Structure 1
Amino acid sequence: MVRDLVVRELDHDPRFRWRGGAVTRIENLSDIVFALAFGMLVSSAARPTTFSELTGHLLTIVPVAAGFALLVLIWNAHFTFFRRYGVADGRIILLNCVLLLLVLFVAYPLRFIFDSLFGVILAQLGNWAVLEGTGIGFREAGIIMAYFSFGYALIFLIISLMYGHALGRSQQLELSETEKAITRQSLWHYGCQAGMATVTGLVALLTPAGPIAGALMILIGPLVFLGSRFIKTPALAGHSQEAGAMQ
Protein backbone atom coordinates (compact mmCIF):
# COMPACT_ATOMS: atom_id res chain seq x y z
CA MET A 1 0.00 0.00 0.00
CA VAL A 2 2.86 2.36 0.86
CA ARG A 3 4.58 1.39 -2.40
CA ASP A 4 1.44 2.23 -4.41
CA LEU A 5 1.29 5.64 -2.71
CA VAL A 6 4.96 6.31 -3.48
CA VAL A 7 4.49 5.31 -7.13
CA ARG A 8 1.47 7.60 -7.49
CA GLU A 9 3.13 10.59 -5.84
CA LEU A 10 6.77 10.34 -6.92
CA ASP A 11 6.88 8.78 -10.38
CA HIS A 12 7.30 10.95 -13.49
CA ASP A 13 3.61 10.65 -14.42
CA PRO A 14 1.70 11.80 -11.30
CA ARG A 15 -1.53 12.73 -13.11
CA PHE A 16 -1.93 9.37 -14.82
CA ARG A 17 -2.84 6.09 -13.15
CA TRP A 18 -0.54 3.49 -14.62
CA ARG A 19 -2.54 0.48 -15.75
CA GLY A 20 0.47 -1.51 -16.92
CA GLY A 21 1.49 -3.72 -14.03
CA ALA A 22 4.06 -6.46 -14.47
CA VAL A 23 6.27 -6.23 -17.55
CA THR A 24 4.65 -8.23 -20.35
CA ARG A 25 6.32 -10.44 -22.94
CA ILE A 26 5.70 -7.86 -25.66
CA GLU A 27 7.56 -5.27 -23.54
CA ASN A 28 10.41 -7.72 -22.95
CA LEU A 29 10.71 -8.30 -26.69
CA SER A 30 10.59 -4.55 -27.30
CA ASP A 31 13.37 -3.86 -24.79
CA ILE A 32 15.55 -6.50 -26.46
CA VAL A 33 15.03 -4.88 -29.87
CA PHE A 34 15.78 -1.41 -28.51
CA ALA A 35 18.93 -2.74 -26.83
CA LEU A 36 20.06 -4.24 -30.14
CA ALA A 37 19.39 -0.95 -31.91
CA PHE A 38 21.42 0.99 -29.33
CA GLY A 39 24.29 -1.46 -29.76
CA MET A 40 24.14 -1.24 -33.55
CA LEU A 41 24.17 2.54 -33.37
CA VAL A 42 27.25 2.72 -31.14
CA SER A 43 29.26 -0.17 -32.59
CA SER A 44 28.79 0.52 -36.31
CA ALA A 45 32.10 2.41 -36.60
CA ALA A 46 35.36 0.60 -37.36
CA ARG A 47 37.83 0.03 -34.51
CA PRO A 48 40.53 2.77 -34.49
CA THR A 49 44.12 1.53 -35.02
CA THR A 50 46.08 4.83 -35.17
CA PHE A 51 46.10 8.05 -33.15
CA SER A 52 44.45 10.04 -35.94
CA GLU A 53 41.74 7.39 -36.26
CA LEU A 54 41.25 7.51 -32.49
CA THR A 55 40.83 11.29 -32.62
CA GLY A 56 38.29 10.94 -35.42
CA HIS A 57 36.53 8.21 -33.50
CA LEU A 58 36.17 10.46 -30.43
CA LEU A 59 34.52 13.11 -32.60
CA THR A 60 31.81 10.63 -33.54
CA ILE A 61 30.33 11.10 -30.06
CA VAL A 62 28.31 13.98 -31.56
CA PRO A 63 26.40 11.99 -34.23
CA VAL A 64 26.21 8.96 -31.92
CA ALA A 65 24.69 11.11 -29.17
CA ALA A 66 22.15 12.54 -31.63
CA GLY A 67 21.08 9.07 -32.78
CA PHE A 68 21.09 7.80 -29.20
CA ALA A 69 18.83 10.68 -28.09
CA LEU A 70 16.37 9.93 -30.89
CA LEU A 71 16.19 6.24 -29.94
CA VAL A 72 15.68 7.20 -26.29
CA LEU A 73 12.84 9.51 -27.34
CA ILE A 74 11.16 6.65 -29.19
CA TRP A 75 11.77 4.21 -26.34
CA ASN A 76 10.30 6.63 -23.78
CA ALA A 77 7.13 7.11 -25.85
CA HIS A 78 6.84 3.32 -26.09
CA PHE A 79 7.54 2.80 -22.37
CA THR A 80 5.06 5.48 -21.30
CA PHE A 81 2.34 4.03 -23.51
CA PHE A 82 2.52 0.54 -21.97
CA ARG A 83 2.84 1.88 -18.42
CA ARG A 84 -0.13 4.20 -18.82
CA TYR A 85 -2.56 1.95 -20.66
CA GLY A 86 -1.35 -1.65 -20.34
CA VAL A 87 -3.06 -2.44 -23.67
CA ALA A 88 -1.80 -5.44 -25.65
CA ASP A 89 -4.67 -6.39 -27.95
CA GLY A 90 -4.22 -7.50 -31.53
CA ARG A 91 -3.98 -4.02 -33.03
CA ILE A 92 -1.37 -2.88 -30.51
CA ILE A 93 0.67 -6.05 -31.06
CA LEU A 94 0.61 -5.41 -34.82
CA LEU A 95 1.55 -1.73 -34.47
CA ASN A 96 4.25 -2.58 -31.95
CA CYS A 97 5.77 -5.18 -34.28
CA VAL A 98 5.86 -2.63 -37.12
CA LEU A 99 7.50 -0.12 -34.78
CA LEU A 100 10.15 -2.62 -33.67
CA LEU A 101 10.89 -3.54 -37.28
CA LEU A 102 11.40 0.12 -38.14
CA VAL A 103 13.61 0.73 -35.10
CA LEU A 104 15.78 -2.29 -35.89
CA PHE A 105 15.94 -1.52 -39.60
CA VAL A 106 16.93 2.15 -39.21
CA ALA A 107 19.68 1.67 -36.60
CA TYR A 108 22.60 1.48 -39.08
CA PRO A 109 21.16 4.07 -41.51
CA LEU A 110 20.53 6.35 -38.53
CA ARG A 111 24.23 6.32 -37.68
CA PHE A 112 25.16 7.01 -41.32
CA ILE A 113 22.65 9.84 -41.54
CA PHE A 114 23.90 11.62 -38.43
CA ASP A 115 27.54 11.04 -39.44
CA SER A 116 26.73 12.65 -42.79
CA LEU A 117 24.88 15.60 -41.25
CA PHE A 118 27.76 16.07 -38.80
CA GLY A 119 30.10 16.10 -41.81
CA VAL A 120 28.00 18.86 -43.39
CA ILE A 121 28.33 20.92 -40.19
CA LEU A 122 32.10 20.40 -40.08
CA ALA A 123 32.32 21.36 -43.76
CA GLN A 124 30.63 24.68 -43.02
CA LEU A 125 33.33 25.24 -40.39
CA GLY A 126 36.07 24.55 -42.92
CA ASN A 127 36.77 20.86 -42.25
CA TRP A 128 35.79 18.98 -45.41
CA ALA A 129 37.61 15.75 -44.59
CA VAL A 130 34.67 13.93 -42.98
CA LEU A 131 32.22 14.89 -45.75
CA GLU A 132 34.69 14.04 -48.51
CA GLY A 133 35.28 10.65 -46.89
CA THR A 134 31.58 9.82 -47.31
CA GLY A 135 31.46 10.98 -50.94
CA ILE A 136 28.37 13.06 -50.22
CA GLY A 137 27.57 16.39 -51.85
CA PHE A 138 24.87 18.94 -51.10
CA ARG A 139 22.25 17.14 -53.18
CA GLU A 140 23.05 13.76 -51.62
CA ALA A 141 22.85 15.35 -48.16
CA GLY A 142 19.37 16.60 -49.03
CA ILE A 143 18.28 13.10 -50.03
CA ILE A 144 19.71 11.76 -46.77
CA MET A 145 17.71 14.39 -44.87
CA ALA A 146 14.59 13.26 -46.74
CA TYR A 147 15.26 9.61 -45.82
CA PHE A 148 15.71 10.56 -42.19
CA SER A 149 12.59 12.73 -42.14
CA PHE A 150 10.35 10.11 -43.72
CA GLY A 151 11.64 7.41 -41.37
CA TYR A 152 11.10 9.72 -38.40
CA ALA A 153 7.59 10.50 -39.60
CA LEU A 154 6.70 6.84 -40.05
CA ILE A 155 7.91 5.87 -36.58
CA PHE A 156 5.93 8.62 -34.87
CA LEU A 157 2.90 7.90 -37.03
CA ILE A 158 2.91 4.37 -35.60
CA ILE A 159 3.23 5.75 -32.06
CA SER A 160 0.36 8.17 -32.77
CA LEU A 161 -1.81 5.29 -33.95
CA MET A 162 -1.06 3.43 -30.70
CA TYR A 163 -2.10 6.41 -28.58
CA GLY A 164 -5.16 6.98 -30.76
CA HIS A 165 -6.19 3.37 -30.22
CA ALA A 166 -5.85 3.80 -26.45
CA LEU A 167 -7.99 6.94 -26.58
CA GLY A 168 -10.63 5.01 -28.51
CA ARG A 169 -10.66 2.46 -25.68
CA SER A 170 -11.01 5.14 -22.98
CA GLN A 171 -14.27 3.69 -21.65
CA GLN A 172 -12.87 0.17 -21.22
CA LEU A 173 -9.69 1.59 -19.69
CA GLU A 174 -11.75 3.86 -17.41
CA LEU A 175 -9.68 6.91 -18.27
CA SER A 176 -10.47 9.98 -16.20
CA GLU A 177 -11.06 13.35 -17.87
CA THR A 178 -7.52 14.38 -16.96
CA GLU A 179 -6.12 11.19 -18.45
CA LYS A 180 -8.11 11.61 -21.65
CA ALA A 181 -6.84 15.18 -22.00
CA ILE A 182 -3.24 14.05 -21.45
CA THR A 183 -3.74 11.32 -24.04
CA ARG A 184 -5.03 13.88 -26.54
CA GLN A 185 -1.97 16.03 -25.83
CA SER A 186 0.31 13.05 -26.45
CA LEU A 187 -1.57 12.25 -29.64
CA TRP A 188 -1.18 15.86 -30.82
CA HIS A 189 2.51 15.84 -29.82
CA TYR A 190 3.42 12.71 -31.78
CA GLY A 191 1.13 13.66 -34.65
CA CYS A 192 2.93 17.01 -34.96
CA GLN A 193 6.27 15.21 -35.08
CA ALA A 194 5.05 12.87 -37.81
CA GLY A 195 3.44 15.66 -39.84
CA MET A 196 6.32 18.12 -39.57
CA ALA A 197 8.85 15.41 -40.41
CA THR A 198 6.84 14.57 -43.55
CA VAL A 199 6.85 18.22 -44.63
CA THR A 200 10.60 18.40 -43.95
CA GLY A 201 11.23 15.31 -46.06
CA LEU A 202 9.22 16.69 -48.97
CA VAL A 203 11.01 20.04 -48.85
CA ALA A 204 14.41 18.32 -48.65
CA LEU A 205 13.60 16.03 -51.58
CA LEU A 206 11.71 18.35 -53.92
CA THR A 207 13.29 21.77 -53.39
CA PRO A 208 16.83 23.21 -53.53
CA ALA A 209 16.79 23.53 -49.71
CA GLY A 210 18.33 20.07 -49.33
CA PRO A 211 19.75 19.36 -45.87
CA ILE A 212 18.85 22.89 -44.71
CA ALA A 213 15.22 21.74 -44.70
CA GLY A 214 15.97 20.04 -41.38
CA ALA A 215 15.59 23.46 -39.75
CA LEU A 216 11.83 23.08 -40.24
CA MET A 217 11.83 20.48 -37.46
CA ILE A 218 12.25 23.37 -35.02
CA LEU A 219 8.58 24.17 -35.66
CA ILE A 220 7.59 21.00 -33.77
CA GLY A 221 8.17 22.80 -30.47
CA PRO A 222 5.78 25.72 -31.12
CA LEU A 223 3.14 23.36 -32.56
CA VAL A 224 3.29 21.16 -29.47
CA PHE A 225 3.05 24.26 -27.27
CA LEU A 226 -0.04 25.46 -29.13
CA GLY A 227 -1.63 22.04 -28.69
CA SER A 228 -1.00 22.13 -24.94
CA ARG A 229 -2.69 25.54 -24.81
CA PHE A 230 -5.81 24.38 -26.64
CA ILE A 231 -6.09 20.92 -25.05
CA LYS A 232 -6.58 21.80 -21.42
CA THR A 233 -6.08 19.31 -18.59
CA PRO A 234 -8.14 19.53 -15.39
CA ALA A 235 -6.34 20.63 -12.25
CA LEU A 236 -4.21 18.07 -10.46
CA ALA A 237 -6.46 18.28 -7.41
CA GLY A 238 -9.44 17.36 -9.52
CA HIS A 239 -7.57 14.36 -10.84
CA SER A 240 -6.73 13.22 -7.31
CA GLN A 241 -10.44 13.25 -6.44
CA GLU A 242 -11.23 11.26 -9.60
CA ALA A 243 -8.50 8.74 -8.83
CA GLY A 244 -9.73 8.39 -5.25
CA ALA A 245 -13.26 7.75 -6.44
CA MET A 246 -12.05 5.05 -8.83
CA GLN A 247 -10.13 3.16 -6.16
Structure 2
Amino acid sequence: MGKPHNIGRIEAFSDAVFAFAATLMVVNFDMADNLAITKSNTTSFLSFFVSFFVLVAIWWVHYNFFRRTNYMDNVLIALNAILLFVALYYVFPLKTMVQSWMGEGVRSFEDLANLFVLYGVGFLLIFLCLSLMYYWAFKKTEQNADSLVLFFYARHFAIFVVVALISVVIAFSGIGLKFGFPGFVYGLIGPLCYWQSKHFTKTYESL
Protein backbone atom coordinates (compact mmCIF):
# COMPACT_ATOMS: atom_id res chain seq x y z
CA MET A 1 0.00 0.00 0.00
CA GLY A 2 1.48 3.36 -1.01
CA LYS A 3 2.17 6.02 1.59
CA PRO A 4 0.67 9.52 1.21
CA HIS A 5 2.94 12.16 -0.25
CA ASN A 6 4.58 14.67 2.06
CA ILE A 7 3.41 18.01 0.69
CA GLY A 8 5.66 19.90 3.09
CA ARG A 9 8.79 18.45 1.51
CA ILE A 10 7.52 19.25 -1.99
CA GLU A 11 6.88 22.87 -0.98
CA ALA A 12 10.29 23.09 0.71
CA PHE A 13 12.04 21.76 -2.39
CA SER A 14 10.09 24.19 -4.59
CA ASP A 15 11.05 27.13 -2.37
CA ALA A 16 14.70 26.04 -2.57
CA VAL A 17 14.54 26.08 -6.37
CA PHE A 18 13.00 29.57 -6.38
CA ALA A 19 15.73 30.71 -3.98
CA PHE A 20 18.35 29.22 -6.31
CA ALA A 21 16.82 31.10 -9.25
CA ALA A 22 17.04 34.36 -7.27
CA THR A 23 20.67 33.56 -6.42
CA LEU A 24 21.48 33.05 -10.10
CA MET A 25 20.08 36.49 -10.84
CA VAL A 26 22.32 38.06 -8.18
CA VAL A 27 25.39 36.19 -9.42
CA ASN A 28 24.73 37.45 -12.95
CA PHE A 29 24.17 41.04 -11.81
CA ASP A 30 26.83 43.23 -13.43
CA MET A 31 28.39 46.17 -11.59
CA ALA A 32 31.34 48.27 -12.68
CA ASP A 33 34.50 47.96 -10.55
CA ASN A 34 34.54 51.67 -9.73
CA LEU A 35 30.84 51.68 -8.77
CA ALA A 36 30.20 54.46 -11.28
CA ILE A 37 26.59 54.82 -12.42
CA THR A 38 26.47 54.09 -16.15
CA LYS A 39 23.79 53.17 -18.63
CA SER A 40 25.03 49.57 -18.49
CA ASN A 41 24.69 49.51 -14.70
CA THR A 42 21.21 51.02 -14.90
CA THR A 43 20.15 48.43 -17.46
CA SER A 44 21.53 45.62 -15.32
CA PHE A 45 19.69 46.93 -12.26
CA LEU A 46 16.37 47.30 -14.10
CA SER A 47 16.64 43.83 -15.64
CA PHE A 48 17.43 42.41 -12.19
CA PHE A 49 14.55 44.37 -10.62
CA VAL A 50 11.95 43.21 -13.15
CA SER A 51 13.20 39.60 -13.23
CA PHE A 52 13.22 39.34 -9.43
CA PHE A 53 9.66 40.55 -8.97
CA VAL A 54 8.41 38.40 -11.85
CA LEU A 55 10.04 35.45 -10.09
CA VAL A 56 8.28 36.49 -6.86
CA ALA A 57 4.98 36.66 -8.76
CA ILE A 58 5.51 33.13 -10.10
CA TRP A 59 6.36 31.96 -6.59
CA TRP A 60 3.16 33.60 -5.28
CA VAL A 61 1.00 31.84 -7.89
CA HIS A 62 2.75 28.55 -7.07
CA TYR A 63 2.26 29.16 -3.33
CA ASN A 64 -1.46 29.79 -3.82
CA PHE A 65 -1.88 26.42 -5.52
CA PHE A 66 -0.77 24.64 -2.36
CA ARG A 67 -3.11 26.83 -0.29
CA ARG A 68 -6.09 25.73 -2.36
CA THR A 69 -5.58 21.97 -2.29
CA ASN A 70 -4.11 19.29 -0.07
CA TYR A 71 -4.13 16.68 -2.83
CA MET A 72 -0.79 15.42 -4.13
CA ASP A 73 0.27 12.50 -6.32
CA ASN A 74 3.04 11.57 -8.75
CA VAL A 75 1.43 13.45 -11.64
CA LEU A 76 1.38 16.71 -9.67
CA ILE A 77 4.97 16.13 -8.53
CA ALA A 78 6.03 15.71 -12.16
CA LEU A 79 4.14 18.83 -13.30
CA ASN A 80 5.60 20.79 -10.40
CA ALA A 81 9.11 19.67 -11.34
CA ILE A 82 8.59 20.82 -14.94
CA LEU A 83 7.27 24.16 -13.71
CA LEU A 84 10.34 24.67 -11.50
CA PHE A 85 12.68 23.74 -14.34
CA VAL A 86 11.04 26.24 -16.68
CA ALA A 87 11.02 28.95 -13.97
CA LEU A 88 14.81 28.62 -13.69
CA TYR A 89 15.16 28.85 -17.47
CA TYR A 90 12.62 31.67 -17.79
CA VAL A 91 14.59 34.22 -15.76
CA PHE A 92 17.32 34.71 -18.34
CA PRO A 93 15.28 35.50 -21.48
CA LEU A 94 13.25 37.86 -19.28
CA LYS A 95 16.42 39.74 -18.26
CA THR A 96 17.47 39.94 -21.91
CA MET A 97 13.99 41.22 -22.81
CA VAL A 98 14.31 44.08 -20.31
CA GLN A 99 17.80 44.89 -21.57
CA SER A 100 16.44 45.08 -25.11
CA TRP A 101 13.97 47.76 -23.97
CA MET A 102 17.02 49.79 -22.94
CA GLY A 103 18.64 49.34 -26.35
CA GLU A 104 21.11 46.62 -25.38
CA GLY A 105 21.65 43.03 -26.44
CA VAL A 106 19.32 42.92 -29.48
CA ARG A 107 20.93 43.84 -32.80
CA SER A 108 18.25 42.90 -35.33
CA PHE A 109 14.56 42.16 -35.72
CA GLU A 110 15.48 38.49 -35.99
CA ASP A 111 17.08 38.66 -32.53
CA LEU A 112 13.97 40.40 -31.19
CA ALA A 113 11.68 37.79 -32.75
CA ASN A 114 13.74 34.97 -31.23
CA LEU A 115 13.61 36.70 -27.85
CA PHE A 116 9.82 37.07 -28.00
CA VAL A 117 9.52 33.39 -28.95
CA LEU A 118 11.87 32.34 -26.15
CA TYR A 119 9.99 34.46 -23.61
CA GLY A 120 6.61 33.26 -24.87
CA VAL A 121 7.52 29.58 -24.71
CA GLY A 122 8.71 29.96 -21.11
CA PHE A 123 5.57 31.89 -20.14
CA LEU A 124 3.39 29.31 -21.91
CA LEU A 125 5.01 26.31 -20.21
CA ILE A 126 4.84 27.81 -16.72
CA PHE A 127 1.13 28.53 -16.93
CA LEU A 128 0.39 25.32 -18.79
CA CYS A 129 1.87 23.42 -15.86
CA LEU A 130 -0.19 25.49 -13.41
CA SER A 131 -3.39 25.01 -15.40
CA LEU A 132 -2.83 21.25 -15.59
CA MET A 133 -1.99 21.07 -11.89
CA TYR A 134 -5.23 22.81 -10.98
CA TYR A 135 -7.25 20.66 -13.37
CA TRP A 136 -5.67 17.42 -12.15
CA ALA A 137 -6.28 18.36 -8.51
CA PHE A 138 -9.90 19.21 -9.38
CA LYS A 139 -10.42 15.85 -11.12
CA LYS A 140 -8.89 13.91 -8.23
CA THR A 141 -10.78 15.57 -5.38
CA GLU A 142 -14.44 15.40 -4.44
CA GLN A 143 -16.25 17.76 -6.75
CA ASN A 144 -18.23 20.32 -4.80
CA ALA A 145 -18.52 24.09 -4.45
CA ASP A 146 -15.06 24.34 -2.86
CA SER A 147 -13.33 22.23 -5.49
CA LEU A 148 -14.80 24.42 -8.22
CA VAL A 149 -12.17 26.97 -7.21
CA LEU A 150 -9.58 24.56 -8.63
CA PHE A 151 -11.54 24.27 -11.88
CA PHE A 152 -11.84 28.06 -12.07
CA TYR A 153 -8.08 28.53 -11.84
CA ALA A 154 -7.44 25.73 -14.33
CA ARG A 155 -9.49 27.71 -16.87
CA HIS A 156 -8.02 31.01 -15.66
CA PHE A 157 -4.43 29.98 -16.35
CA ALA A 158 -5.41 28.27 -19.59
CA ILE A 159 -6.12 31.79 -20.87
CA PHE A 160 -2.50 32.72 -20.14
CA VAL A 161 -1.41 29.72 -22.21
CA VAL A 162 -3.58 30.63 -25.20
CA VAL A 163 -2.43 34.27 -25.19
CA ALA A 164 1.23 33.24 -24.96
CA LEU A 165 0.73 30.85 -27.88
CA ILE A 166 -0.77 33.68 -29.97
CA SER A 167 2.21 35.89 -29.10
CA VAL A 168 4.69 33.16 -30.06
CA VAL A 169 2.97 32.63 -33.42
CA ILE A 170 2.96 36.38 -34.13
CA ALA A 171 6.63 36.72 -33.16
CA PHE A 172 7.59 33.68 -35.22
CA SER A 173 5.75 35.21 -38.20
CA GLY A 174 7.55 38.53 -37.72
CA ILE A 175 4.33 40.54 -37.52
CA GLY A 176 4.62 43.98 -35.90
CA LEU A 177 8.10 43.43 -34.42
CA LYS A 178 9.02 47.06 -35.01
CA PHE A 179 6.24 48.10 -32.61
CA GLY A 180 6.64 45.20 -30.16
CA PHE A 181 3.25 43.77 -31.14
CA PRO A 182 3.97 40.24 -29.78
CA GLY A 183 4.42 41.86 -26.36
CA PHE A 184 1.25 43.94 -26.50
CA VAL A 185 -0.73 40.74 -27.14
CA TYR A 186 -0.30 39.88 -23.45
CA GLY A 187 -2.65 42.77 -22.72
CA LEU A 188 -5.47 40.43 -23.77
CA ILE A 189 -5.04 38.46 -20.56
CA GLY A 190 -6.88 41.00 -18.41
CA PRO A 191 -10.09 41.31 -20.50
CA LEU A 192 -10.21 37.56 -21.23
CA CYS A 193 -9.78 36.65 -17.55
CA TYR A 194 -12.51 39.11 -16.62
CA TRP A 195 -14.87 37.59 -19.20
CA GLN A 196 -14.00 34.08 -18.02
CA SER A 197 -14.71 35.07 -14.40
CA LYS A 198 -18.12 36.53 -15.26
CA HIS A 199 -19.03 33.52 -17.41
CA PHE A 200 -17.87 31.04 -14.77
CA THR A 201 -19.81 32.78 -11.99
CA LYS A 202 -22.97 32.84 -14.12
CA THR A 203 -22.63 29.16 -15.03
CA TYR A 204 -21.91 27.81 -11.54
CA GLU A 205 -23.61 30.38 -9.28
CA SER A 206 -26.27 27.84 -8.26
CA LEU A 207 -23.68 25.48 -6.74
Corresponding residue number in structure 1 for 2:94: 110
What per-residue deviation string (whole Å, max 9, x for no partner) do you get for residues 41-76 of structure 1? 243132322355555323433332322232222211
Match of 2:175 among 200, 208, 211: 208
Which is further off, 42-51 or 201-210?
A: 42-51
Alpha-carbon distance in structure 2 between the residues aligned to 1:135 and 1:52:
24
Which is further off, 85-94 or 157-166?
A: 85-94
How much has 1:152 moved relative to structure 2? 0.4
How much has 1:105 moved relative to structure 2? 2.5
List alignment gaps of at least 5 residues for structure 1: 1-21, 120-129, 239-247
TM-score (norm 1): 0.72
**C-alpha distance 42-113 of structure 1, shift in aligned 2 (>3 A):** farther
Corresponding residue number in structure 2 for 1:57: 41
Corresponding residue number in structure 2 for 1:191: 158
List alignment gaps of at least 5 residues for structure 2: 1-5
Q: Give the % identical residues.
A: 26
Corresponding residue number in structure 2 for 1:88: 72
Corresponding residue number in structure 1 for 2:3: none
**C-alpha distance 69-189 of structure 1, shift in aligned 2 (>3 A):** farther
Partner amino acid, structure 2, of 1:153: L
Corresponding residue number in structure 2 for 1:182: 149
Matches within 5 A, 1:30-41: 30-41=14-25
Q: Contact 1:41–1:110 at 8 Å: present in 2 too?
A: no
> What is the RMSD computed on CA atoms of the aligned residues?
2.3
Matches within 5 A, 1:1-247: 24-50=8-34, 52-54=36-38, 56-116=40-100, 118-119=101-102, 130-131=103-104, 134-171=105-142, 176-177=144-145, 179-210=146-177, 211-232=180-201
Alpha-carbon distance in structure 2 between the residues aligned to 1:135 and 1:90:
41
TM-score (norm 2): 0.85
Alpha-carbon distance in structure 1 between the residues aligned to 2:141 and 2:106:
51
Partner amino acid, structure 2, of 1:62: L
Q: Contact 1:156–1:194 at 8 Å: present in 2 too?
A: yes
Q: Contact 2:76–2:133 at 8 Å: present in 1 too?
A: yes
How much has 1:192 moved relative to structure 2? 0.5
Alpha-carbon distance in structure 2 between the residues aligned to 1:29 and 1:74:
15
